[in-house]
């Protein structure tokens, strides 16, 4: 089976972990061990911002960022439903209400016009997602945020290597949240990062990740235990060095696959432009005018042929029982339509040119 995604971890990462195990420390009470500090410095440079705050999961990054920009009980946060549930989860954990807005059908990302319509007197923040690794249309969203005095927190969990107008994804937001889960473009096994240019947000994030402390036993605010371990950071240092080559291979595979699949008139294919470069975390195509049943049959047949194709976010968050029962129903026609038609194909760095050819030709034969 060609898996949909696969971590690419080698001897360099193993040696980095061994060094930490042998020499220590394994962690730091304030989340600022030497490996973590080094990783944060390197990641901030990669992201093109002043501050990088490492945490133990991508979900922790989302929750910490939402809390750090001041979202609290009674506030509303506008976000897409076509995303992994952690995006909405972070809002609810902060005591706020998730307000789901529809997507742009061409990018699968939050629609600025839908966001504008969803703003109320209780809105505190906008939370776009760089879905599949393609940057949200952040400039219009930033204009809406500034117009209404809102925070802009970008869920860049899948966007390592994506750019928007020549800058790394997340650079235009008040804070950007990244996942380092095993399937992502780079990994620390589990882990996350929040990046920001705002000194106050960065300081607050560092307190939130370690029980609200600046110094031990002196909590200044409500916090949590979101520290990144030194083992995670050691892996992250090595993975970050390899990230450009990982993204380059993904882009190469994506271009090859697109060239093959363009032969069919039944597919809407992913794209990028000069001002918005994809991270290619997931290569997501769409069955034009297809039904959910057709899409699901295609996935079944691809798996029979040892291709680990998947359909992500088939049950958008606004339809999940907990969110529907607690926050009410909402009509999101573009979200619902996309969830029935999209499917993702393997293009990670472990996929060879021969395998890309096999994937593409197999899809063509099945549709």
In this predicted structure, what is the pLDDT of residue 287? 97
Closest CA to 83 of 96, 65, 57, 101: 101
220: left (phi over 0), alpha (psi -120 to 50) or beta: alpha
Same domain, yes or no, for 149 and 260?
no
Instruction: Let me know whether 164 and 207 are in one domain.
Output: yes
Cα separation, 130 vs 309, whole angstroms: 20
- For residues 117 and 165, give the distance between their C-alpha atoms in angstroms, rounded to a whole number: 26
| Residue 2 falls inside a structural domain | no
Q: How many CB atoms lie within 10 A of CB 340?
A: 17
120 assigned to some structural domain: yes
CATH number for position 298: 3.90.1150.10
CATH number of the CATH domain containing 231: 3.40.640.10
Cα 179 from Cα 173, distance rounded (Å):
16
Close Cβ partners of 202 (under 8 Å, ≥ 6 residues apart): 50, 51, 53, 196
Q: Does residue 249 fall inside a structural domain? A: yes
The domain boundary, picked from 208, 239, 270, lies at: 239
What tens-digit pLDDT sequence spans the chain (367 residues)? Answer: 999 999 999 999 999 999 999 999 999 999 999 999 999 999 999 999 999 999 999 999 999 999 999 999 999 999 999 999 999 999 999 999 999 999 999 999 999 999 999 999 999 999 999 999 999 999 999 999 999 999 999 999 999 999 999 999 999 999 999 999 999 999 999 999 999 999 999 999 999 999 999 998 999 999 999 999 999 999 999 999 999 999 999 999 999 999 999 999 999 999 999 899 999 999 999 999 999 999 999 999 999 999 999 999 999 999 999 999 999 999 999 999 999 999 999 999 999 999 999 999 999 999 9
38 inside domain: yes
Q: In what order do the strands lie in the sheet with 192-196?
A: 51-55, 192-196, 175-179, 151-155, 123-126, 76-80, 97-101
3-state secondary structure of 105: coil
Assess whether 151 and 168 both reside in one domain.
yes
Domain ends where: 239, 270, 304?
A: 239
Of the three residues 222, 239, 256, the one that is the final residue of a domain is 239
115 near 101, Cβ under 8 Å? yes
Do the domain assignments include residue 4? no
Strand pairing partners for 155? 129, 177
Question: Rg of the chain's alpha carbons, rounded to an integer?
Answer: 20
What is residue 35's predicted lDDT score, i.e. its pLDDT?
98
Do 292 and 339 lie in one domain? The reply is yes
Same domain? 169 vs 217: yes
> Within this chain, do residues 283 and 148 fall inside the same structural domain, yes or no?
no
Q: What is the residue whose two structure tokens read 């060879």?
A: 352
Query: What is the number of domains present in the chain?
Result: 2
The answer as to whether 5 is a domain residue is no
* Pairing between β-strand 276-277 and β-strand 51-55 as defined by DSSP bridges: unpaired
Among residues 343, 284, 338, 298, which one has the least CA distance to residue 316? 338
The tokens describing 61, both together, are 């990054």
Q: Is the pTM of this model over 0.85?
A: yes
Residues 294 and 227 in one domain: no
Q: Which two tokens stand for residue 296?
A: 């699901």
Catalytic option among 184, 214, 255, 303:
184
Report the distance separating Cα 285 and Cα 265, nearest Å.
Answer: 12
| Domain identity same for 212 and 280 | no
* Token output for 92: 């609810």
Domain-embedded: residue 1: no
How far apart are alpha carbons 105 and 337 in whole angstroms? 9
Residue with tokens 């989860």: 89
253 lies in some domain: yes
To the query of whether residue 259 is one of the catalytic residues in this protein, the response is: no
**Smallest Cα–Cα separation from 111: which of 134, 148, 137, 143?**
137
Helices (H), the chain: 11-23, 34-47, 58-68, 86-93, 112-118, 138-148, 199-208, 230-261, 292-304, 321-327, 333-341, 353-366
Name beta bridge partners: 261.
none
Residues 27 and 163 in one domain: yes
The residue range of the domain holding 266 is 244-366
Are 173 and 311 members of one domain? Answer: no
Instruction: Identify the pLDDT of residue 183.
Output: 97
Q: Say if CB 191 and CB 56 are below 8 A apart.
A: yes
Residue 209 shares a structural domain with residue 64: yes
Instruction: Looking at the structure, tell me whether residues 131 and 257 fall in a common domain.
Output: no
């Amino acid at each position: 089976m060609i898996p949909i995604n696969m971590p690419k971890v080698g001897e360099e990462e193993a040696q980095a972990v061994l060094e930490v195990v042998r020499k220590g420390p394994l962690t730091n009470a304030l989340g600022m061990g030497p490996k973590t500090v080094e990783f944060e410095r390197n990641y901030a440079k990669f992201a093109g911002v002043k501050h990088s705050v490492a945490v133990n999961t991508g979900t922790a990054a989302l929750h910490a960022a939402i809390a750090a920009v001041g979202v609290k009980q009674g506030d509303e946060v506008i976000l897409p439903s076509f995303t992994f549930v952690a995006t909405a989860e972070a809002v609810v954990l902060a005591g706020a209400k998730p307000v789901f807005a529809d997507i742009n059908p061409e990018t699968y990302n939050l629609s600025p016009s839908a966001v504008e319509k969803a703003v109320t007197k209780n809105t505190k923040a906008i939370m776009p997602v760089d879905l599949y690794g393609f940057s949200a249309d952040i400039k219009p969203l930033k204009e809406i945020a500034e117009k209404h005095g809102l925070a802009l927190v970008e869920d860049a969990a899948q966007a390592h290597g994506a750019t928007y107008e020549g800058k790394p994804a997340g650079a235009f937001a008040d804070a950007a949240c990244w996942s380092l889960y095993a399937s992502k473009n780079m990994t620390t096994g589990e882990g996350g990062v929040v990046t920001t240019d705002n000194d106050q947000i960065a300081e607050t994030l560092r307190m939130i990740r370690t029980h609200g402390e600046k110094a031990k036993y002196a909590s200044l605010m409500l916090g949590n235990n979101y520290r990144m371990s030194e083992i995670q950071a050691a892996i992250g240092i090595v993975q970050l060095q390899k990230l450009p080559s990982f993204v380059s291979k993904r882009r190469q595979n994506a271009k090859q696959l697109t060239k093959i699949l363009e032969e069919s008139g039944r597919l809407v294919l992913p794209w990028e432009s000069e001002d918005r470069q994809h991270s290619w975390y997931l290569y997501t195509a769409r069955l034009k005018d297809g039904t959910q049943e057709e899409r699901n049959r295609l996935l079944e047949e691809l798996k029979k042929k040892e291709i680990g194709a998947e359909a992500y976010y088939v049950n958008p968050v606004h339809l999940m029982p907990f969110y529907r029962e607690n926050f009410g129903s909402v009509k999101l026609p573009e979200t619902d339509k996309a969830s029935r038609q999209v499917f993702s194909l393997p293009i990670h760095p472990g996929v060879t040119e021969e395998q890309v050819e096999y994937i593409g030709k197999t899809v063509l034969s099945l549709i």
